[in-house]
Structure 1
Amino acid sequence: MKRFLWILFLGVTFSSTAQRMVLKKGRVLDSIPVAHNATDNFGLYLPKNYDASQKWPVVFVCDMKGDGLNVLENYKTSAEKQGYIFISINNLTDTLSISKNVLIANRIIVGASAIFSINPSRVYVAGFEEGARFASILPVFIGNVDGVISCGSDIGSIEILDAKNPFHYIGIVGKGDFNYTNMLQTENVLNKLKFPNQLLTFEGGHDWPPAKKLEEALEIFSLSSMVKGNNPKDKSFIEASYNASWERINSLIYSLKMLEAEDLITQTESVYPRLVGLDSLKEKLRQLKKNKIYKTQKRDENAAFNKESLTRVDYAYYLEEDVNTYNFKNLGWWSYQMDELKKHSASPNAIESQMGERLMGFLNALIQENIGTLKKEDPIDEEGLRFLWMLKTITAPKEYSNYLKVISSSAKNDDFGTALFYTEELLKKGYTNKSELYDLKDTALLRITPEFNELVAQYLKGARYELPIE
């Protein structure tokens, strides 16, 4: 028989009239209001076996892009398997100040804690990218947050952390993510501050992690809560979890993934103190570090990190120089750099391939950061922006918006040659939105030229304006 949770909400959201809502378990729900507030609302996933007579752990998802509902959909299976309530904090946005976002998050956390049977010692926050950076500082401002799952981004501000009030931090990042090395540095800083922390990695780039990795983070939180006494120790759960980790370690070693095996051993050691004996695990690590294949992989990884660090410094320096001097002639050099990075990315050597992916991601993020900086200037440096948009067509050739911006900017300055060149480059990449192209800002004169219409007719089977008949 299906169970339903009936909750009485009072507030202006419901015209100040008492209303009943039915919240179905095992289903993602959106826009659930917080009592006595006209705007605050949240998304929800209640596990199918949710029982209000028990205290439940909860993860509050911080998403700055209004995509919290999709996050719940993608990870509802993880929440179900590990027995967690998932709640997305709606109305967060990077256009608001940190203080205003903290107030929104606090109202949702307090409001949801009053509605559901939540274990006050097992309240966690999670996020990706900007949401992760925001989530990582919430425990500083909201005292009852016990842990953070930070995906694809390091801590928002190391300076505000207090070693006397630590929280449990779990970073999750793809080894091809440009933030990977930053998160390794964060791990070292947190270790020095004696914050409980783990860094989980996966084969991938700058994206939300696979569901299995999020489940791993939730499992770590559950084990940690048993160590702290916030949750009864479940011997069968502990043994099954530890044995699964042991099997994964052996599987990684058998597959010659020595560095991944080292990471998992270190992680397991940090998770299971006072839960199981770790002597065999420590011996496994000692033997691993004597292995010749491990030593070779470690040496290759360190070499890749050093090369990546130097390349990042070069890219930052040369990009600043080119933007300041409007060095359009240097776009060829940047194109060559991208070709080299693509070669690294296509390498059969995983360490080299991941380095190539990280550097491509770093370069794109660096360009985007510079675009954001120039847009804030008064007056706006239009030539600098045009250079960066041109560069972005090289580093992110499938992002059509950059071509459109170059076309618009060039046409505005009567540089029809450049505008036509980027129009053809755009169409070659598979762009098909004819109406958007003809409605592009500042292109009134460009789009009535025969050359422009010939390109449109060639690639999109028909132009808006008739071509002259010879």
Structure 2
Amino acid sequence: MKAIILTLFIVMCSTLIAQTPGQVIDTVASEHDKSQSYAVYLPSNYTADKKWPIIYFFEPAARGSLPVVLYAKVAEELGYILACTHNSRNGSYDNSFKAADALFLDTEKRLSIDFDRVILSGFSGGSRLALSIAVISKAAYGVIGVGAAQPAVPAYMVLKKKDFKYAGLVGARDMNYLEHKIFQSQMNTLEMDNLLLISNFTHKWADPIDLRIALLWMEGDSIKFQEAVKAKIIAERDSIPLSDIIALDQLLKNETFVITDSKQVKKTLKEESKVIKREQLLKKIISDSINSAFDLSSLNNPSINWVTRRAEKLKTQRAKSENIQEKMMIDRLLNYMSAACYETSLQMKSQGFTKKALVGITIWESVSGFPIYGHWLKARVFAVERDTPQALKHLEAALKSGKIKKESVFREPDFEGLYEDPRFKELIEMYYN
């Protein structure tokens, strides 16, 4: 698999994809691997007689059309092809590499790509995947990581200077906020070209404005980049940490952030530092309790109760707080609790530990407050366990919300064993036809 990725940019055949430029195409079946598909966007002025830069996206929940739709206007303005696989998701690197292979080989065969301007991007686990591929393939011009930085596998990490540019996009309320800042320091030490953009959001795909800034930076369009950063400072100056506003200001040739009270600035920066230290302590305590909850593997154990009570306490504390730094810290902690339980429950599911998977989902529901998606996760767990009645019960509860797309049901491998069940067919007919 790795051998394919290491040579994935060699093929340069440019057969035009049979779709309409200027429109997001939700599903293109891969000719390389019929089990794979992807979403794609071609700029409205796309022609095969010109080489075009491309951004390959990786979505942690296999929602291939999400980033393509989100960033289509930016791609149209700056002239980029966008493509995102429907098959890559958090979990097995082997499965994600397989999806990446199909995406790369198919688009290389069908599209006219500028192989000197290939950008890899992803959100959360997809961000780690994008960086991993850039490290082992040595073929990316740039990487745009959203909501996560380094992968956990040493072979895929940036441990020495690389040739690609890296832009990190993360929210000040994202649980991986500090991770991105630490990674930026590491890249500075390695003397790698890098950019870090902080915005006021939690763990999600970045705003198109930030992707546009990252692309302008990679392209070296100084004038438009400076204008976009100035606008960002104005928009974000009261909603993200002061240290990040100052960092943005340092990207400008002409200083626009005026420090009117140096004592107040020093005081604010000191408060930010204290909040970070407090967050790190609380995160360690919460992490230990979550680990204990999974170890006990019972839905009625003290660790689960402690975590859920802590989540409610943090929510109450946030509602009462008037300190923006404290509010952002609490958002990051809640974000971390939710993500840790979600990821671990899926890991437990893949290993066949049903009770532990349900423990994670129970805590996740309490923290996130999204019972609909909780039913979806439980349906997946029971489907893998071949407990069809429970799987269909929770699947129906999720479908009743009207928020689950039909494509999502059939793109979820966990549900393949339900396809021939009469009740499953009845639910599909009831909610989608």
1:116 matches 2:88:
no
1:371 matches 2:348:
no
**Equivalent in 133, 146, 155 of residue 150 of structure 2:** 155
Deviations 1:391-450 (A, max 9, x none): 4443233325658969x99xxxxxxxxxxxxxxxx9xxx99969xxxxxxxxxxxxxxxx
Q: Which structure has the larger Rg over C-alpha atoms?
A: 1
Asked whether the equivalents of residues 25 and 41 of structure 2 are also in contact (C-alpha less than 8 Å), the reply is: yes
Assess, with a 3 A threshold, how the Cα gap between structure 1 residues 247 and 106 changes in structure 2: closer, same or farther.
Answer: same
Asked whether the equivalents of residues 172 and 202 of structure 2 are also in contact (C-alpha less than 8 Å), the reply is: yes
| Distance in 1, Cα, partners of 2:371 & 2:102 | 37
**Alignment TM-score, normalising by the size of structure 1:** 0.67
Aligned AA (1:313): K
Assess, with a 3 A threshold, how the Cα gap between structure 1 residues 363 and 84 changes in structure 2: closer, same or farther.
Answer: same
Deviations 1:203-261 (A, max 9, x none): 111111112111112212211xxxxxxxxxxxxx5324324434654676699974342
Question: Relative to structure 2, which stretch is displaced further, 252-261 or 137-146?
Answer: 252-261
Assess, with a 3 A threshold, how the Cα gap between structure 1 residues 377 and 95 changes in structure 2: closer, same or farther.
Answer: closer
Match of 1:293 in 2: 264
Match of 1:399 in 2: 371
Match of 2:206 in 1: 209
Question: Relative to structure 2, which stretch is displaced further, 48-57 or 132-141?
Answer: 48-57
Aligned AA (1:28): V
Aligned AA (1:241): F
1:242 matches 2:233:
no
| Distance in 2, Cα, partners of 1:371 & 1:247 | 41
| Distance in 2, Cα, partners of 1:158 & 1:185 | 17
Aligned AA (2:248): L
Deviations 1:137-191 (A, max 9, x none): 1112323211111111122247333524332111111111111112222212222
**Equivalent in 175, 178, 184 of residue 181 of structure 2:** 184
| Distance in 2, Cα, partners of 1:28 & 1:375 | 34
Match of 1:233 in 2: none
Q: How does 1:1-400 map to 2 (within 5 A)?
A: 22-34=18-30, 37-94=33-90, 96-98=92-94, 101-157=96-152, 159-160=154-155, 161=158, 163-223=160-220, 238-246=222-230, 248-249=232-233, 258-266=242-250, 268=251, 278=253, 280-281=254-255, 288=259, 291-324=262-295, 328-329=301-302, 332-346=305-319, 347-372=321-346, 374-375=348-349, 380=353, 382=355, 388-400=360-372
Assess, with a 3 A threshold, how the Cα gap between structure 1 residues 376 and 88 changes in structure 2: closer, same or farther.
Answer: closer
Assess, with a 3 A threshold, how the Cα gap between structure 1 residues 344 and 219 changes in structure 2: closer, same or farther.
Answer: farther
| Distance in 2, Cα, partners of 1:374 & 1:44 | 33
Q: How does 1:434-445 map to 2 (within 5 A)?
A: none
Match of 1:454 in 2: none
Aligned AA (2:371): E
Asked whether the equivalents of residues 345 and 359 of structure 2 are also in contact (C-alpha less than 8 Å), the reply is: no
| Distance in 1, Cα, partners of 2:350 & 2:109 | 42
5+ unaligned residues in a row in structure 1: which ranges? 1-6, 10-19, 224-236, 270-277, 410-425, 435-470
Aligned alpha-carbon RMSD (Å): 3.7
Aligned AA (2:150): I
Asked whether the equivalents of residues 62 and 68 of structure 1 are also in contact (C-alpha less than 8 Å), the reply is: yes
Asked whether the equivalents of residues 52 and 117 of structure 1 are also in contact (C-alpha less than 8 Å), the reply is: yes
Match of 2:417 in 1: none
Asked whether the equivalents of residues 345 and 355 of structure 1 are also in contact (C-alpha less than 8 Å), the reply is: no
Identity %: 21
Asked whether the equivalents of residues 56 and 83 of structure 2 are also in contact (C-alpha less than 8 Å), the reply is: yes
Which secondary structure does the structure 1 equivalent of 2:278 belong to?
Answer: helix
Aligned AA (1:196): D
Which secondary structure does the structure 2 equivalent of 1:91 belong to?
Answer: coil
Aligned AA (1:47): P
Which secondary structure does the structure 1 equivalent of 2:65 belong to?
Answer: helix
Asked whether the equivalents of residues 137 and 157 of structure 1 are also in contact (C-alpha less than 8 Å), the reply is: no
Aligned AA (1:72): V
Match of 2:5 in 1: none
Aligned AA (2:335): G
5+ unaligned residues in a row in structure 2: which ranges? 1-12, 383-393, 402-433
Question: Relative to structure 2, which stretch is displaced further, 207-216 or 61-70?
Answer: 61-70
Aligned AA (2:329): M
Aligned AA (1:261): I
| Distance in 2, Cα, partners of 1:170 & 1:250 | 21
Asked whether the equivalents of residues 119 and 142 of structure 2 are also in contact (C-alpha less than 8 Å), the reply is: yes
User: How far has the Cα of 1:54 moved from its partner?
Assistant: 3.5
User: How far has the Cα of 1:131 moved from its partner?
Assistant: 1.4
| Distance in 2, Cα, partners of 1:144 & 1:23 | 27
**Alignment TM-score, normalising by the size of structure 2:** 0.72
Which secondary structure does the structure 1 equivalent of 2:246 belong to?
Answer: helix
- The aligned length equals 369
Which secondary structure does the structure 2 equivalent of 1:173 belong to?
Answer: strand
| Distance in 1, Cα, partners of 2:34 & 2:375 | 42
Aligned AA (2:314): L
Assess, with a 3 A threshold, how the Cα gap between structure 1 residues 21 and 156 changes in structure 2: closer, same or farther.
Answer: closer
Which secondary structure does the structure 2 equivalent of 1:140 belong to?
Answer: helix
Asked whether the equivalents of residues 58 and 89 of structure 2 are also in contact (C-alpha less than 8 Å), the reply is: no
Assess, with a 3 A threshold, how the Cα gap between structure 1 residues 197 and 292 changes in structure 2: closer, same or farther.
Answer: same
Asked whether the equivalents of residues 375 and 398 of structure 2 are also in contact (C-alpha less than 8 Å), the reply is: no
Assess, with a 3 A threshold, how the Cα gap between structure 1 residues 366 and 109 changes in structure 2: closer, same or farther.
Answer: closer
Asked whether the equivalents of residues 259 and 294 of structure 1 are also in contact (C-alpha less than 8 Å), the reply is: no
Deviations 1:256-315 (A, max 9, x none): 97434212124x26xxxxxxxx4x44xx67x74972332222112111110110001111
| Distance in 1, Cα, partners of 2:199 & 2:223 | 24
| Distance in 2, Cα, partners of 1:320 & 1:37 | 39
